[in-house]
Chain A
Amino acid sequence: MSGEKLSLKDLARKRDLLAPGHRLCAGCGAAIVARLVMKATRGPTIVACATGCLEVATTIFPYTAWRVPWIHSAFENVASTASGIEAGLKALKRAGKLKYDHVDVIAFGGDGATYDIGFQAISGAFERGHDILYVLYDNEAYMNTGIQRSGGTPKYASTTTSPAGKVIPGKLELKKPISHIMVAHRIPYVATASPAYPLDLMRKVRRGLEVEGPAFIHILAPCPRGWRFDPRYTIEMARLAVQTCVFPLWEAENGKYKLTGVSRSIARNPKMKKPVEEYLKRQGRFRHLFTPENRHLVDEIQKIVDEEWNWLLKMCQLS
């Protein structure tokens, strides 16, 4: 089943399912991501949330910002909680006890919950084939606890547990290629998205809900506090990440990779690709790279980004 055509004009009039009054930081990327994801829902929906910024700041008791049924259980188990929700709904439907024809199940996890502590639960849920949409809002560190490094933190970013010191220039390890790992699970739909491109993001969410079986959408969620930039630039960061190919936009339906949006345009017209420096220099977490002795690290990052981009082009058979 292919869904209705989504347009910004129509979606702008759709009531937000994440209400205002939540207490995420001013300019929070995760808040934009969650709003956009919920805008793209198509009917009865239940949301499960992993522990993290989104969870704590939207449900400070006795308040809640969620206009859909919502559950938070723990940090590492949102995929298994969602598995239980999906299985429960399936069983209730079979027994004739469900009043809906179908209920969509969305799981939200941050990078900590997804790359690290909850990785096993996601892998299990995807192997079992539960019909859930898992949304990774990736702010690239444990922001909720104060900017500690995660498996999703990019190389050389300074965090409170991978600080740029006199000897060590921030995180030494690469960002885990989480979405490709999810493609390797042979699930029907995997995509990346950026809040700078809302229509692309919402179309992917809708597609993720439409496919039968697990879907995974990896959405970059710039964090003004953790990345050290002025809150007004959240969308700019999300856009630069795509324009520099640090965070390309693609989707893989049944394992078949395809670039989307601006990334597709860059593939066709490589001149559009901006140098990573334009992205890095705007963020305090990379400030230490812009000294004469660390300059080569920027070059190294550029090399890594180029290699990964070329690999992706190959996967999309565009090179």
Chain B
Amino acid sequence: MSFTVHHPASVSDAVALAERYGADGRFLAGGTDLIIQIHRKRLASQHLIDLTGLAELRAIEDAGDEIRIGALATHKAIERNPLFQGALVALAEAARVVGGHQVRNVGTVGGNIANASPAADVVAPLLALEAEVVLQGAAATRRVRLRDFLAGPGRTMRGDGELVREVHVAKPPPRSATAFLKAGRRKAMEISVVCVAARLTLDDAGRCAAARIALGAVSATTMRAEAAERALEGALLTDDVLRDAGRLAAGACHPIDDVRASARYRRLLVEALVPRALARCVERISGRRS
């Protein structure tokens, strides 16, 4: 295997290189997946466009009603950023269980999204937060919903030459909380067998004003459990209601049997983890209030 590594000095240079090389070019961010794919000979890119010198892509900014996460923000940066300690803590919880420390020190949010693994940990909370992705091409910049961006395992709607530049997450309204849970065979260096992210907003009467549930590793892309969300909205969140949401989510997903787990077990995990994640959100909302 041999390839040329390019070190663009600006985002526009990077995009220009990507446009020039088309399918022969790949962006290199943290490389935690790309390098493995190259080693396993599943990828034979001729040109690697190294983004790591583009400091402007590393920023995590509070822009008032939303938070803008640069594509090169590492998992470790998410894990440690105080912006993700309150209602957005699911992002930090997900970032904290990606790989091991070495992976988190270099692996990036942008890479996690662009790689479009259905098991990507950080994608689940981003999807539950209805994140939007800013794509920069040579001609234009566009902003798309993350759920539209994800097209299939390893597939996105990113066009040739387009770079994932930023991810935008709206700040949730008051009385909101998030939670992330992951099941795997071990507690680190693990790809999710199932992961679940939940975002919940309660009204003043304690009823569910809004619920968003994202499921990882149980369908072709990280998915939303919309039937479960609808069943929660307007309801008082009793244990039975949460359990029903788990059942609805389990019924809506499309897991596969593979070496990591059976489809049956994945469904049971969704059934178990969805109520647990929601209960954690409820605890967090009420905990913050008291």
Q: Do A and B bind each other?
A: no
Seen from chain A, the residues whose Cβ lies within 8 Å of a Cβ on chain B are: none
